[in-house]
Structure 1
Amino acid sequence: MDAKMINPFVDAVATVLPQLGFQSVERGQIRLGEEFVEGRGVTVLIGLTQDVQGNLAYNFTEEVAKGIASTMMMGMPVTQMDEMAQSAISELVNMITANAATHFSSQNLLVDISPPSLVVGEALKARISNGKFLVVEVNADSYSFELNIGIASSK
């Protein structure tokens, strides 16, 4: 997968998370995934269409999702993945993906994003690509989550 397809997401994470109260945001390891993303507890799926097509799966443990939701809500304790916490995590995914879509526009690539779909549970197996996809680890303060990227440019 071309770095030009991944960098908008890495840049978007580095832009959005500090705006939400995270002090330290770093890209961790990158590896290839094959066929399925396996749920870690909370997985948010979002699709891309137009000049960049494919799917993304943001993959969190439930504890990490609750911690991130708490940070987004200015430290309000989050003890369960209730409707408010789910909404916060879905909005985070929306913000990062929309920011990446803006980065793609600077490459003259038009991108539309689908509404995010959040799934709670570890038994999830989601196919985001017909082949290999990229798994990018994101470390934000003491939280770590995966961004699974199965996209390609149609141009």
Structure 2
Amino acid sequence: MQVEYINPFIRSMTKTFDTMLGCEIKRGSLILASDFKANYDICGVIGLSGRAQGVVVVNLSRDVAMQAAATMLMMDPSEVTDLNEDVIDAVGEIANMVAGAAKAELDEFELSISLPNVVVGAPPDIRFPSEVHAIAIPFECPWGAMSIKVGFTPCSVPA
């Protein structure tokens, strides 16, 4: 996967957390997803299709997911005590925002994005298609650790 295709996902993750959640995040170094061993409790998964096919996975630690949900729902963080339906919905919405904003920057692929699926459990076992070499990008914020994993491959689509 070409690194320049990762930048829209990095920008959209940063913008989503900064604009929607008022939380500044700091990006770590790019890593092959197969070599990335961080275990997070919850992730939003979105499929990509069109002139490219693949997946984007937004991985959040429990603390980040619960704080993000509280912020989105304008609740006191102490009111969010578990990975409940509100947190699951918030993680799905974050994944949707990240994928949607990145999609807008990747016009040449005419991408469609799937509805988000949310997987709970550490470590979630999200697999990419065998021909896709996914990249992981770790992030840190005051709430804790998170990452995104992006993997897609251009393909020919009949006209």
**How high is the TM-score relative to the length of structure 2?**
0.84
Paired with 1:62 and 1:142, the residues of 2 have a C-alpha distance of 9
Is 1:62 the counterpart of 2:57? The answer is no
Q: Which of the two has greater strand per residue?
A: 1
Q: Which 10-residue stretch deviates more, 71-80 or 12-21?
A: 71-80
**SS at structure 2 position matched to 1:127:** coil
Match of 1:111 in 2: 111
Aligned residues: 153
Paired with 1:7 and 1:111, the residues of 2 have a C-alpha distance of 16
**SS at structure 1 position matched to 2:92:** helix
Q: What is the CA RMSD across the aligned residues, in angstroms?
A: 2.3
**SS at structure 1 position matched to 2:66:** helix
Offset, 1:95: 0.7
Match of 1:127 in 2: 127
Unaligned runs of 5+ in 2: none
Which of residues 81, 84, 90 is equivalent to 2:83? Answer: 81
Paired with 1:150 and 1:37, the residues of 2 have a C-alpha distance of 16
Is 1:102 the counterpart of 2:104? The answer is yes
Is 1:148 the counterpart of 2:146? The answer is no
**SS at structure 2 position matched to 1:129:** coil
What's the % identity of the aligned pairs? Answer: 25
Deviation per CA, 1:57-102: give whole Å up to 9, x if none: 2212222211222222335321111111111111011011000000
Paired with 1:79 and 1:51, the residues of 2 have a C-alpha distance of 42
**SS at structure 1 position matched to 2:104:** helix
**How high is the TM-score relative to the length of structure 1?**
0.86
Unaligned runs of 5+ in 1: none
Flag as ranges the 4+ runs of structure 1 deviating above 4 A.
35-39
